[in-house]
């Protein structure tokens, strides 16, 4: 078997202990049904060099991920300290009194003593105990950002997680959070790819020590129309010039922006290809072409009907 690739890491400036996160993580969002596939894919990913694993209470993948990580530790492939595990607080638990119990439940499911990173999944709160996806808009309740964030800070002090952050927060929502936070969020995980480059959000996060993590880095994850990244002729040309795939060009671009990202592939070859991005560079001309790609958001939001003010009209 080929030697595992050593994935570069990035410091989380807003974490209390200068925690380092591997720049590429393995996602486990719910587009699969077989727990066995998940487990086998995660063991394979660890063998290839993946150390950062991203899940969420809402994904239904915490059990399989927990079993796989335990097996990998039992086999001596990794220690707990080698791993970086992220999970997320779902909207039904996005209430001050439910944050710590929800995190404890995730830890139990994952068979872990602590998380490396715990995120607020969406800047929304809904009826406790009433899980549905999409979230029914009539089930939404006011989001107590100050109270919830105090509970996130408490989970950090209790040693249940090493860092805390958010997901799907606009600049405006981050500004609101920063105005009430004692400990700043370490990460904001958002959709980001070549057709949704998040320039304004990137600039704001850089200025405030918040590391961006991109989900849907290859613009997969929704079935509407053609994939503006993977089916883009101009990107095909750039990829051919470097002897790489469009996926590799996309991930290399993210790496050169200084962001981290979670890619999701359970295919052994593709998992490996996603790691082959660290020993070459895009040219200035490549970047100029990529800057011209038409921008539009792929994932409008988790509610039915969609909310008008979820993204605060930010581009």
The residue annotated as part of the active site, out of 50, 59, 118, 255, is 59
**Is 50 one of the catalytic residues?**
no
8 Å CB contact between 221 and 166: no
The reply, when asked if residue 121 is annotated as ligand binding, is: yes
8 Å CB contact between 42 and 72: yes
**Which residues are the active-site residues?**
59
Bind-site residues? 121
Binding residues for substrate are 121
């Amino acid at each position: 078997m080929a030697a595992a690739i050593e994935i570069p890491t990035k410091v989380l400036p807003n974490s209390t202990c200068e925690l380092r996160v591997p720049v590429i993580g393995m996602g486990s969002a719910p587009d699969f049904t077989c727990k066995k596939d998940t487990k086998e894919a995660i063991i394979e990913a660890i063998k290839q060099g993946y150390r950062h694993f991203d899940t969420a209470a809402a994904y239904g993948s915490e059990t399989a991920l927990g079993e796989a990580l335990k097996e990998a530790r039992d086999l001596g492939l990794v220690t707990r300290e080698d791993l970086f595990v992220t999970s997320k607080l779902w909207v039904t638990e996005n209430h001050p009194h439910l944050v710590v119990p929800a995190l404890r439940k995730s830890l139990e499911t994952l068979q872990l003593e602590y998380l490396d990173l715990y995120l607020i999944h969406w800047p929304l709160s809904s009826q406790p105990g009433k899980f549905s996806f999409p979230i029914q808009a009539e089930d939404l309740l006011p989001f107590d950002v100050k109270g919830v964030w105090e509970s996130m800070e408490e989970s950090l002090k209790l040693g249940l997680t090493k860092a805390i952050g958010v997901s799907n927060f606009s600049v405006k929502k981050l500004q609101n959070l920063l105005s009430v936070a004692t400990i700043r969020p370490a990460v904001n995980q958002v959709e980001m790819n070549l057709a949704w480059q998040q320039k304004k959000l990137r600039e704001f996060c850089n200025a405030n020590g918040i590391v961006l993590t991109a989900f849907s880095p290859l613009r997969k994850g929704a079935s509407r129309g053609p994939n503006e990244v993977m089916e883009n002729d101009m990107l095909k040309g750039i990829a051919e010039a470097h002897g790489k795939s469009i996926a590799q060009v996309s991930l290399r671009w993210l790496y050169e922006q200084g962001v981290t990202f979670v890619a999701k592939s359970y295919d052994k070859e593709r998992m490996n290809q996603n790691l082959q991005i660290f020993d070459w560079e895009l040219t200035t001309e490549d970047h100029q072409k990529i800057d011209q790609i038409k921008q539009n958001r792929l994932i409008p939001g988790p509610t039915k009907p969609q909310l008008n003010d979820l993204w605060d009209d930010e581009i």
